[in-house]
Amino acid sequence: MIYEIYHETKFNYAAIVTFSHNIARLKPKNSSTQKLLEHSLKISPNPYETSEFVDYFENTNNFMLIREAHKSLTVTAISRVERIEEEINKNIQELKNCKITFKEARERLTKFNSEDVLSKQYLFETDSIPIANENIKTYILESFSEDRNLFESINEFMQRIFTDFKFVSGFSNVTTPIDEIFEAKKGVCQDFAQFAIGALKSIGLPARYVSGYIQTNPPEGQEKLFGADASHAWFSVYIPSFGWADFDPTNNKIPNEEYIVLGYGRDYLDIAPLKGVVQSSGNSILGVKVNVQRMNS
């Protein structure tokens, strides 16, 4: 399946910006399940300097330095991505057939195994995802017992987030603590992902944040409006003997060919689509327009 993704980010500033530098993470990944066919990045006003580099988490970063005075900044990424359905379905089936138990996984992760080493960096807390409190730990352990199949436990935990939490825009932002998300039982996809990551780490399982997109469909009988989509987030868990496995608690799904991956990180801040510094005064207004379109070929 081939998708074209349009992602426009626009900042309107209250006062003139005399200098700014930003980093965009809007270039989809290449992997065994996903192939990047085309990618372009348009920046307005024209930057004085640009560069591209791959960061520690193997995400592509585009740096842009703007010295021209401006009152708005627009960054538009257009990508064409092929999702390799046969490989995705194969991975999902292997995941469902994985027999390792919760006890076996934790015991292996306490010892040295060369295959597991890099996953262990995802066990530590970050500024935005501290190790979960005892109430959250009690909540997640309702789905986990020592001799239970680990995949079944994680899958049930994902389903419970989907059932127990409500999707409510405007309640939270990227700085809202996972404790507040848990207490209120509401938020958006990035909140559910970060809550799950914090909970999983509290019981000794490496977990990471996944940034990307998902194909959406309009209500029956209506046309899809261009730009009405949004970026998406879910979580990934490291399962010894299998590898990284993705779960989407917002939609109660194991991500399939309809999901496009931008990148991975310990939390949202590691893979924020656009972040930077401006020299100005006053506030700014952010506007984002996203469109995910499945192509015929």
Q: Concatenated DSSP letters for the chain?
A: -EEEEEEEEEEEEEEEE-EEEEEE---PPPBTTEEEEEEEEEEESPPSEEEEEE-TTS-EEEEEEE-S-EEEEEEEEEEEEEE-HHHHHHHHHHHHT---BHHHHHHHHTS--TTTGGGGGGGS--SSSPPP-HHHHHHHHTT--TTSBHHHHHHHHHHHHHHHSEE-TTS--TT--HHHHHHHTEE-HHHHHHHHHHHHHHTT--EEEEEEEE---PPTTSPPPTTBB-EEEEEEEEETTTEEEEEBTTTTB---TTEEEEEEESSGGGG-SEEEEEE--S-EEEEEEEEEEEE--
pLDDT value of position 297: 58
Quick check: pTM over 0.85?
Answer: yes
Mean pLDDT of the chain, nearest integer: 93
Average pLDDT over residues 44-53: 95
pLDDT confidence bin for 277, thresholds 50/70/90: confident
Given a cut of 80, is residue 228 above it in pLDDT?
A: no
pLDDT value of position 32: 93
Average pLDDT over residues 65-79: 94
pLDDT confidence bin for 22, thresholds 50/70/90: very high
Which residue reads 């352990």 in tokens?
141
| Residues 6+ positions from 22 with CB-CB distance below 8 Å | 63, 64, 66, 73, 75, 274, 275, 276, 277
Given a cut of 90, is residue 217 above it in pLDDT?
A: no
Range with the poorest average pLDDT among 123-127, 148-152, 217-221, 244-248: 217-221
pLDDT, one tens digit per residue, over 79-107 is 999 999 999 999 999 999 999 999 999 99
CA angle 136–141–143, rounded 5-degree value: 120
pLDDT, one tens digit per residue, over 250-271 is 999 999 999 999 999 999 999 9
pLDDT value of position 283: 83
Comparing C-alpha atoms, which of 236, 235, 229, 234 is closest to residue 215? Answer: 229
| Residues 6+ positions from 221 with CB-CB distance below 8 Å | none
Classify strands 231-239 and 186-187 as parallel, antiparallel or unpaired. unpaired
